[in-house]
Structure formats: structure tokens, C-alpha cells
């Protein structure tokens, strides 16, 4: 039975089409704010990177400075949800943004666990390494090109931009990378070459192929990755239950951005998510399962 897959390409262009084709981060390390003590207040300046707020180094009970989760594309519709959910779970976050003014309005302020830095993924791995810094423990990438006149934008952002982030991680020894990608990136190999969503997204600068290239780079990089491929993204709160399938399985369906953000954050917590590609949508009739079970059911390849 076919269901509806909605890929929002831009606020101006919405495609709604019915498809007819066939070593993890310890959550305890970041546990609760109660176990932290503010140790130091810095005013830091990093070359190539603007920091909008004073940097608060926060140490755990044993005095170690707590490391952060770097979120690329933190002002995006999914990125800001990831930031919010990380903070709510007690993680410390370094939000990588292109536009600091936009970040001031879209990201919560006054939270000492949040640091905002300028990070354009097209500017190369050196600058990204400066932005990520030696105080980040993992990177979550929720970037996506902004449609415009530049037909190469998907290639610059969704392929090379992500590759730049992975390279920055390798330079810094950051060994955890979560990527928000998309279902159907490997649509041609799945027999979905005539799927309207596959055609539409690739007509627009070969977007899915660009994302697939980045995925392949990550998988060969040696960095511990979780590649999350959601179906069509919705802004509404989650409904139904989460369906998680192996790569190249799902070709239709939608999911709330809130749920995608949750999966990205839980991937940091569960070791079962390491070195895996997972495809996710929501379905009303799906059984409710734990994240341990969901991630654990996907085989590493």
C-alpha cells in the first residue's frame, strides 16, 4: 500500500507525491547538570571562528572539563531541535552556524552548556577543525544546501561540506560522527530510479547522489559513524511509532523532525548505533520499541 512522502525542498517549493514503487559516548559522562560544577569562565577567541558568548568550561565531579557535541547546521529546522534535545539531556553543545545573527534568534540563550561558533562547511576542513576545537567529542551533521541559483550547492554542502567535517574530525581525533542524510540516497541501486522523489531531488543538483557520496566517504573514514536516513520531514510533533530499517530498505513515508533529532541524540548514547546506517520513518501501526532494540536490530555492514 502506497503512502505519501513529502520532501520539502525549500519554503517556496514543496513536493508532495504519492509513491507507488516498490566506542560510544557514555551517557553517564554527561549525566545531569546537578553533578557538574562551574569551574572557569573564559573569554576565548579562536582564529576563523567567532564565539558569540563567553565560554563556560564546565567540569564533572572529578574535575575533568566536559567535552561538547558539535552540531553542524545548528540553525536548521532539524539542527536546532538536535541542539535543544542535547541540552535537555544534559549534553554540552557547540552549535556550528553560518549566521550568528540568525543563531541569536533561533537558539536558546543564557544556557552555559551552549556555545555558538561560526562554521560554514564549504570553507574547508582546517577552519572547521578550528570551530570544532579540541573540546568536542562528537559531531552531528544536520546541514542541507539552501536552494538558489547555484546548481552545485548540493555538491558543495551535502557532499564536500560533509567530507570537510569528517576530515576535520580525523585531524582532531574526534571519533564519533552522526549524519542526518535521507532515505532513497541509493535509490538507483534499490530499483527506485523512477520514484518521483528520487527523480525530483536529483534533478535539483543531484542532491541524493551528493549525499550518497558523502556517506561513502564517512564509511571509509575509519570514524565511528551513524548515518540516519529519514523519510520526508515534518515539523509537527511525532505521531505513531518509530520504524528503523537497514540501509536501502525504505522508499516512502514521513517522520517528525523532533523524532529525527531524538534518534540523532540517542545514537550518541547507545553503542548499538555505532558504524551503522539506519533508515527511519514513523508509522501508526508500528510497535513501540526501545532504542537499544531498534539500533541493535540493524546489522553492521
Who's near 13: CB < 8 A, 6+ residues apart? 147
Give the one residue of 82, 142, 166, 261 binding ligand NAP; rule: CB under 6 A. Answer: 142
Regarding 214 and contact with ligand NAP (CB under 6 A), the answer is no
Regarding 77 and contact with ligand NAP (CB under 6 A), the answer is yes
Choose the stretch contacting ligand NAP; rule: CB under 6 A; options: 51-59, 96-104, 127-135, 163-171: 96-104
CA distances from 53 to 41, 103, 115, 116 (A): 11, 12, 7, 7
Q: By rule CB under 6 A, what string of x and - marks binding of each residue 249-288 to ligand NAP?
A: --------x-------------------------------
Helix (H, G, I), strand (E, B), or coil: what is residue 103? helix
Q: Tell me the C-alpha distance between 208 and 295, whole Å.
A: 24
Q: Tell me the C-alpha distance between 9 and 16, whole Å.
A: 10
In the complex with ligand NAP, which residue's Cβ is closer, 143 or 195?
Answer: 143
Q: Tell me the C-alpha distance between 287 and 179, whole Å.
A: 25
Regarding 230 and contact with ligand NAP (CB under 6 A), the answer is yes
In the complex with ligand NAP, which residue's Cβ is closer, 9 or 58?
Answer: 9
What are the backbone angles phi and psi of residue 117, rounded to the nearest 5°? Answer: -130, 155
Give the one residue of 122, 216, 241, 249 binding ligand NAP; rule: CB under 6 A. Answer: 122
Q: Tell me the C-alpha distance between 67 and 226, whole Å.
A: 19
Question: Which residues are at the interface with ligand NAP (CB under 6 A)?
Answer: 7-8, 72-73, 75-79, 98-99, 102, 120-122, 142-146, 157, 161, 180, 182, 230, 232-233, 257
Amino acid at each position: 500500500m502506497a503512502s505519501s512522502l513529502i520532501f520539502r525542498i525549500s519554503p517556496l517549493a514543496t513536493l508532495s507525491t504519492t509513491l507507488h514503487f516498490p566506542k560510544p559516548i557514555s551517557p553517564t559522562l554527561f549525566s545531569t547538570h546537578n553533578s557538574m560544577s562551574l569551574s572557569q569562565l573564559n573569554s576565548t577567541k579562536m582564529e576563523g571562528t567567532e564565539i558569540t558568548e563567553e565560554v563556560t568550561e564546565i567540569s564533572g565531579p572529578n574535575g575533568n572539563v566536559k567535552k561538547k557535541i558539535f552540531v553542524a547546521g545548528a540553525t536548521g529546522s532539524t539542527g536546532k531541535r538536535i541542539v535543544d534535545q542535547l541540552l535537555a539531556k544534559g549534553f554540552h553543545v557547540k552549535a556550528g552556524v553560518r549566521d550568528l545573527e540568525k543563531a541569536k534568534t533561533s537558539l536558546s540563550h543564557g544556557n552555559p552548556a551552549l556555545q555558538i561558533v561560526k562554521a560554514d562547511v564549504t570553507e574547508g576542513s582546517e577552519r572547521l577543525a578550528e570551530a570544532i576545537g579540541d573540546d568536542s567529542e562528537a559531531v552531528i551533521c544536520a546541514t542541507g544546501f539552501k536552494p538558489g541559483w547555484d546548481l552545485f550547492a548540493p555538491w558543495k554542502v551535502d557532499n564536500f561540506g560533509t567530507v570537510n567535517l569528517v576530515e576535520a574530525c580525523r585531524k582532531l581525533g574526534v571519533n564519533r560522527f552522526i549524519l542526518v542524510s535521507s532515505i532513497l540516497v541509493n535509490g538507483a541501486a534499490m530499483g527506485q530510479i523512477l520514484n518521483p522523489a528520487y527523480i525530483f531531488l536529483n534533478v535539483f543538483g543531484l542532491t541524493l547522489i551528493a549525499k550518497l557520496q558523502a556517506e561513502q566517504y564517512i564509511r571509509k573514514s575509519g570514524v565511528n559513524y551513524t548515518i540516519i536516513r529519514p523519510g520526508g520531514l515534518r515539523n509537527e510533533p511525532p505521531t505513531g511509532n518509530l520504524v528503523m530499517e537497514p540501509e536501502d530498505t525504505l522508499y516512502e513515508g514521513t517522520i517528525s523532525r523532533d523524532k529525527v533529532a531524538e534518534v540523532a541524540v540517542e545514537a550518541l548514547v547507545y553503542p548499538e548505533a555505532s558504524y551503522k546506517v539506519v533508515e527511519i520513518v514513523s508509522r501508526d501501526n508500528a510497535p513501540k520499541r526501545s532504542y537499544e532494540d531498534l539500533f541493535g536490530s540493524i546489522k553492521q555492514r
